[in-house]
Structure 1
Amino acid sequence: MTTLLRYEEFRDLHRAGAPLLLPNAWDHASAAALAAAGFRAVGTTSLGVAAAAGLPDGTGATRAETVRLAHGLARLDALISVDIEGGFSDHPAEVAALATELADAGIVGVNIEDGRPDGTLRDLSHQCDILHAVREAVGGRLFVNARTDTYWLPGAGKAPETGRRLGAYRRAGADGVFVPGLRDLSVISELTSGLEDTPLNTLHAPEGPSLPELAEAGVRRVSCGSLLFRAALGAAVAAARNLSVSGDVPSYAETQALSGAFAFA
Structure 2
Amino acid sequence: MPGSELFEKFMALHTRDGGFVMPNAWDGLSALMLADAGFEAIATSSAALAATLGVADGRHAVSRETHLEHARLLATVSGLPVNGDFEDGYGDSPEDVAATVQAAVESGLAGIGIEDTSGDPDQPIRDFDDAVARVRRAVEAAKGRIVITGRTDNFIQGRPDLDDTIRRLTAFAEAGADVLYAPYPPDLEALGAIVSAVAPKPVNVLVSPADEVLTVAELQKAGVKRISLGPWLYTHSMGALAEATDALVAGNLAAAATGLSFERIGELLARGKN
TM over 0.5: yes
Code of the residue aligned with 1:31 in structure 2: it is: A
In structure 1, stretches of 5+ residues that fail to align are none
Report the Cα offset of residue 99 of structure 1. 1.3
Code of the residue aligned with 1:217 in structure 2: it is: A
Report the Cα offset of residue 262 of structure 1. 4.9
CA contact under 8 A between 2:48 and 2:231: conserved in structure 1? yes
| Structure 2: distance between partners of 1:92 and 1:74 | 26
- Deviations 1:156-186 (CA, angstroms, capped at 9, x unpaired): 1421001100011111111101111114122
| Structure 2: distance between partners of 1:18 and 1:197 | 14
RMSD: 2.2
| % identical aligned pairs | 31
Relative to structure 1, the CA distance from residue 183 to residue 17 in structure 2 (aligned partners, 3 Å threshold; closer, same or farther) is farther
Relative to structure 1, the CA distance from residue 139 to residue 157 in structure 2 (aligned partners, 3 Å threshold; closer, same or farther) is farther
- Which structure: greater helix fraction? 2
> Helix, strand or coil for the counterpart of 2:84?
strand
| Structure 1: distance between partners of 2:239 and 2:45 | 17
Q: Which residue of 2 aligns with 1:169?
A: 172
> Helix, strand or coil for the counterpart of 2:117?
coil
Residues matched between the structures, number: 262
Does residue 147 (structure 1) correspond to residue 151 (structure 2)? The answer is yes
Q: Which residue of 1 aligns with 2:129?
A: 125
> Helix, strand or coil for the counterpart of 1:222?
strand
CA contact under 8 A between 2:132 and 2:168: conserved in structure 1? no
Q: Which residue of 2 aligns with 1:70?
A: 71
Between 1:194-203 and 1:226-235, the stretch displaced more is 194-203
| Structure 1: distance between partners of 2:133 and 2:80 | 30
CA contact under 8 A between 1:182 and 1:203: conserved in structure 2? no
**TM-score, normalisation: structure 2:** 0.88
CA contact under 8 A between 2:180 and 2:198: conserved in structure 1? no
Report the Cα offset of residue 3 of structure 1. 2.4
Match of 1:221 among 217, 226, 236: 226
- Deviations 1:179-233 (CA, angstroms, capped at 9, x unpaired): 1111412222222122122111111149323222221221111111110010000
| Structure 2: distance between partners of 1:176 and 1:246 | 43
Relative to structure 1, the CA distance from residue 157 to residue 238 in structure 2 (aligned partners, 3 Å threshold; closer, same or farther) is closer
Match of 1:188 among 179, 186, 191: 191
| Structure 1: distance between partners of 2:34 and 2:257 | 19
Q: Which residue of 1 aligns with 2:100?
A: 98
> Helix, strand or coil for the counterpart of 1:145?
strand
| Structure 2: distance between partners of 1:139 and 1:258 | 35
| Structure 2: distance between partners of 1:151 and 1:224 | 17
**TM-score, normalisation: structure 1:** 0.90
Alignment of 1:1-265 (within 5 A): 1-15=1-15, 18-63=18-63, 64-75=65-76, 76-117=78-119, 118=121, 119-154=123-158, 156-205=159-208, 207-242=212-247, 243-244=254-255, 249-259=259-269, 262=272
Q: After TM superposition, what 4+ stretches of structure 1 lie above 3 angstroms from structure 2?
A: 256-263
> Helix, strand or coil for the counterpart of 2:155?
coil
CA contact under 8 A between 1:152 and 1:181: conserved in structure 2? yes
| Structure 2: distance between partners of 1:253 and 1:103 | 35
Between 1:108-117 and 1:219-228, the stretch displaced more is 108-117
Code of the residue aligned with 1:202 in structure 2: it is: V
In structure 2, stretches of 5+ residues that fail to align are 248-253
- Deviations 1:222-253 (CA, angstroms, capped at 9, x unpaired): 11111001000011121233342799x43213
Relative to structure 1, the CA distance from residue 37 to residue 200 in structure 2 (aligned partners, 3 Å threshold; closer, same or farther) is same
Relative to structure 1, the CA distance from residue 145 to residue 246 in structure 2 (aligned partners, 3 Å threshold; closer, same or farther) is farther
Code of the residue aligned with 2:55 in structure 1: it is: L
CA contact under 8 A between 2:118 and 2:126: conserved in structure 1? yes
Code of the residue aligned with 1:96 in structure 2: it is: A
> Helix, strand or coil for the counterpart of 1:144?
strand
> Helix, strand or coil for the counterpart of 1:111?
strand
Between 1:16-25 and 1:5-14, the stretch displaced more is 16-25
